Structure 1
Amino acid sequence: MPSRKEPDASASVPSFYGAELRYRREAAGLTLAQLIDGSFRGIPFLSQIEHGERRMPMDLAKHVDVRLGTDGFFQRRCEDVRRARQSGHAEYFADVVAMERGAETIEEWSPILVPGLLQTADYARAVIRAAQPRATHERVEEMVSARMSRASLFEQDESPEFWAILDESVIRRRVVPSRHMAELLEHVIDVVHAARGVLQIVPETAACHPFMMGTARVVTFPDAPAMTYMEAMYSGQVIDSPDLVRKYQRSYDRLKAAALSPRTSLNMIEKAAAGYRNGRRRRRLDRRPPA
């Protein structure tokens, strides 16, 4: 197993917080297992905090302060880390953004919307505005900017392997004007190619298949257990139970079998983009099951 890259404590507030936690733990002569013992958390969770990838929850901060004798230091700094980590993202999603950058593989199923990593600014703006109609212009633009910046992970020297599966309705739903929909779908193709990723479409003609209910993202890491992320309208949940993660991984593998091939899927997206460019709307009567 390769050793994990040492975090840069100057990179961000969460990184500084995690580096300080690691320094205090090692100064006390404790292993990760010894420090986490007696809490309701696991070793991988604590390790991700030390590397600035997850936020320290208050219950664990209290536990750490008691075990390390740090006089409430980690409790007092929890709110600082929370605000720094959020930075344009929903609080429940901030940890996931940090974990993306250290991921080995990202496998995503999206039945409703184009995944955030593949969105354009116009599409993201429309989605955010629909979900938060009372948000100020400044807040919306902050969130759009944060979402756009996530795709920079594909520019890393060791970028994660990316696999996305979309329901066909995602590319048919005109969330933004036709010109912007064409730009979105062309952007999706460009990002998939640039990331050397894989994209599949589950056709509307498909019958029942795994993941009929809700979105799902399975993320693996080179030096930590895999996790699954599930998201609803205003909340998200990280699942790191090994047994549950394996079940989601198996379901995702079955979903791959239910989807069209990558080449056929990209061809479908190209045709949909051309249709938006040329002002054509596909009629239901013209739909044919894929060959």
Structure 2
Amino acid sequence: MANGSRQAAWEFFGTELKRRREDAGITQVELGARVFVSGGYIGQFEQAIRKPQLDVAQRIDETLQTDGFFERLWRKLIKEQRFADYFAHTAELERLATSIYEWAPAVVPGLLQTREYARAIYLSHNPLATDEWIDDMVNLRLDRAKILNDATRPLYWVVLHETALRVPVGSPDVMAKQLDHLAEMVRSRTALMQVLPFSAGAHPHMGKLMLLHEFEDAPPTVYTEGVNSGNLLDDPATVKVARGAYDLLRADALSRKASLDMIEATAEGYRACAGTT
């Protein structure tokens, strides 16, 4: 199920909840009291702003006597959700964007990761995860990157901090192949890429991943991410400030040619460490 279809399905969930609640002659406050949430939460469920927990969906079925309808719909939507809640809408917008501008302060961004690099990232964050789970997450990340191979691919401009090149993720061989992949993306004119070198010093957005999306017929957005959290904003003033910060990053970064030279030289260094020169 596509992300846009999934959001429409959650809106259907909310519309049906409102219809069946009103048919039963129950207010939001009354339903909330019966399922152990506030009336305000019921209103947010109905507007598809928030998603109920499974036990709440089950209690809604019991209260409204809907024969498991909301539980079944909940299970289908949660099972088919491909991304974390805080990133799902951004992933949807990514597929609609005409331009994507990304600042990557620590690691190579998901759209540019190789399979081996992505696997090493997931293993570092989830050392006890099963191989099956890791493979599912890696495949999902690689699926995202397919937008860069589409005929209608967006303009993709990324600024990488030098940290993303220098801090090893996985083995030296994994890093060499990852940086080779970055270089190939540049040479094939699939992505515009610059590196912000250590010599540029500190920057206000040093630790904050930032994604800017532009669209043909909708306002631009900015997405920033923290630990298991993300913020997607479309307030024009906020997006303007974020775009200004991104422009400063580009101004302080190396030229595209110098960036490519650094990427290729760093890849050679990793190859020497791996003994594959």
Q: Which has the larger radius of gyration?
A: 2
Shorter-normalised TM range:
0.7 to 0.9
Aligned with residue 18 of structure 1, among 8, 28, 44: 8
- Percent identical pairs in the alignment equals 35
Give the C-alpha shift of residue 279 in structure 1: 2.1
Which residue is 2:27 aligned to? none
The equivalent position to 2:227 in structure 1, one of 230, 233, 237, is 233
CA distance in structure 1 between the aligned counterparts of 2:72 and 2:84, rounded to whole angstroms: 22
Structure 1 runs of 4+ with >6 Å offset? 19-22, 71-76
Answer yes or no: is the 8 Å Cα contact 1:62–1:74 preserved in 2.
Answer: no
Contact 1:13 1:84 in 2 (8 A): no
Which of 266, 269, 273 is residue 275 of structure 1 equivalent to? 269
2-structure distance, mates of 1:199, 1:128: 24
TM-score by length of 2: 0.73
Query: In the TM superposition, what are the counterparts of 1:94-133 in structure 2 within 5 Å?
Result: 94-133=88-127
The aligned counterpart of 2:185 is 191
1:129 is displaced (CA, Å) by 1.2
- Cα offset for 1:144? 0.5
Which residues in structure 2 correspond to 1:213-224 (within 5 Å)? 213-224=207-218
Q: How does 1:129-208 map to 2 (within 5 A)?
A: 129-194=123-188, 196-208=190-202
C-alpha deviation, 1:97, in angstroms: 1.7
Structure 1's 176 and 21: CA in aligned 2 closer, same or farther, altered over 3 A? closer
Q: What is the DSSP-based 3-state SS (H/G/I as helix, E as strand, rest coil) of the residue aligned with 1:183?
A: helix
Which residues in structure 2 correspond to 1:35-50 (within 5 Å)? Answer: none
Structure 2 counterpart SS, 1:164: strand
Q: Aligned partners of 2:216, 2:172: CA distance in 1, in Å?
A: 41
| Residue matched to 2:19 | none
1:50-82 deviation line (CA, Å, top 9, x unaligned): xxxxxxx97555147xxxxxx999998466334
Provide, for residues 8-29 of structure 1, a one-character-per-residue CA deviation record: whole Å limited to 9, x for no partner: xxx647427638969xx9xxxx
Distance 2:104 2:253 in 1: 12
Contact in 1 for aligned 2:162/2:196 (Cα 8 Å):
yes
1:90-135 deviation digits (Å, cap 9, x = unpaired): 3322222221111111111111100001111111111111112232
Deviates more, 1:267-276 or 1:188-197: 188-197
Residue deviations 1:227-285 (CA, integer Å, cap 9, x gap): 1111122222212222111110111011110100011001100011111112289xxxx
CA contact 1:218–1:227 (8 Å) conserved in 2: yes
Rounded to whole Å, the distance in 2 between the matches of 1:59 and 1:139 is 35
TM-score normalised to the size of structure 1?
Answer: 0.70
More helix by share: 2
Contact conserved, 2:172 with 2:274, CA < 8 A, in 1?
no
Deviation of 1:203 (Å): 0.7
Q: Which amino acid aligns with 1:104?
A: T
Give 3-state SS (helix, strand or coil) of 1:205's partner: helix
Give the aligned partner of residue 46 of structure 2. 62
Aligned residues: 230
Unaligned 5+ runs, structure 2: 16-40, 49-63
Structure 1 pair 257–189 and aligned structure 2 pair: CA distance change class (3 A): same
User: RMSD over aligned Cα, in angstroms?
Assistant: 3.0
Q: Does structure 2 retain, via aligned residues, the 8 Å contact 1:226–1:240?
A: yes
What amino acid does structure 1 have at the position aligned with 2:46? K
Contact persistence 1:14–1:84 (CA under 8 A): no
Unaligned segments of structure 1, at least 5 residues: 1-10, 26-56, 65-70, 282-291
8 Å Cα contact 2:108/2:164 also seen in 1? yes
1:178–1:13 distance in 2 versus 1, CA, 3 Å? closer
* Alpha-carbon spacing, 1:18–1:111, altered in 2? closer, same or farther (3 Å): same
Q: Distance in 2 between matches of 1:198 and 1:271?
A: 18
1:261 maps to 2:255: yes
